[in-house]
């Protein structure tokens, strides 16, 4: 279960101090996959970062009674001067997977499909390569909830299909919280929906209802 309790978040840029998220309160039940919908700038990626613990609310809090991945697809959080292999090794050690180190490295290398770049500094990667590496690294661990920020939109058609299949394989064992501009993907992989609008969140038990309300504006 993941619970948001009166969550507020804003970024103090020189032009604005408006709240991105205002007084969000909702509960995501265990085992339920959720699609986040909303217009550009509605705070979908911000909410994913908060749920994943990569950022903190200005007010309120989030309760996570489960193991949550970092947001797949953002491609951030890597040490740029280290190679892909070194980054994967570092993360595996943090998560206490010394015994399964070789398995994790092999899995990520095969899944990411970035060839020789796996042994080159991450700062030389394109955004797509970073996202592939982050995608493979996330799936190499067993999380209760996987966070996805447009992860299935990364790469060519073959890799997109591979990404979609990987998520399908996870459904049933784990759940997803997903941002995607593809309604088809959201309908296929998610049961419930959260519509972010004007800084606030509206929960829908059915993803189809969330998408219908979003389309109405």
Answer left, alpha or beta for residue 199, where phi above 0 means left and psi between -120 and 50 means alpha.
left
- The confidence score (pLDDT) of residue 132 equals 84
**Reported pTM:** 0.83
Q: Which of 67, 65, 74 is nearest to 47 (CA)?
A: 74
Strands 19-28 and 2-10: antiparallel
- The confidence score (pLDDT) of residue 176 equals 92
- The confidence score (pLDDT) of residue 170 equals 75
- The confidence score (pLDDT) of residue 17 equals 67
- The confidence score (pLDDT) of residue 66 equals 94
- The confidence score (pLDDT) of residue 152 equals 62
Run means of pLDDT, 10 residues per run, the chain, 217 residues: 95 73 95 94 93 94 92 74 95 80 93 95 90 85 87 68 79 86 90 95 97 91
- The confidence score (pLDDT) of residue 76 equals 61
């Amino acid at each position: 279960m993941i619970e948001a309790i009166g969550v507020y978040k804003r970024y103090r840029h020189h032009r604005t101090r408006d709240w991105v998220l205002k007084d969000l309160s909702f509960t995501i039940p265990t085992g339920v996959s959720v699609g986040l919908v909303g217009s550009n700038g509605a705070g979908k990626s911000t909410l994913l970062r908060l749920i994943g613990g990569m950022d903190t609310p200005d007010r309120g809090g989030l309760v996570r009674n489960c193991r949550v991945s970092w947001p797949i697809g953002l491609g951030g959080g890597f040490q740029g001067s280290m190679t892909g292999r070194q980054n994967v090794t570092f993360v595996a050690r943090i998560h206490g997977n010394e015994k399964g180190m070789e398995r994790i490295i092999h899995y990520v290398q095969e899944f990411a499909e970035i060839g020789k770049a796996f042994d080159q500094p991450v700062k030389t990667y394109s955004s797509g390569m970073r996202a592939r590496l982050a995608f493979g690294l996330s799936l190499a661990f067993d999380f209760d909830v996987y966070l996805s920020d447009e992860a299935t939109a990364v790469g060519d058609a073959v890799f997109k299909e591979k990404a979609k299949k990987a998520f399908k394989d996870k459904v049933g064992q784990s759940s997803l919280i997903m941002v995607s501009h593809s309604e088809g993907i959201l309908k296929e992989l998610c049961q419930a929906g959260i519509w972010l609008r004007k800084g606030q969140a509206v929960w829908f038990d059915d993803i189809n209802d969330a998408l219908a309300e979003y389309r109405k504006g």
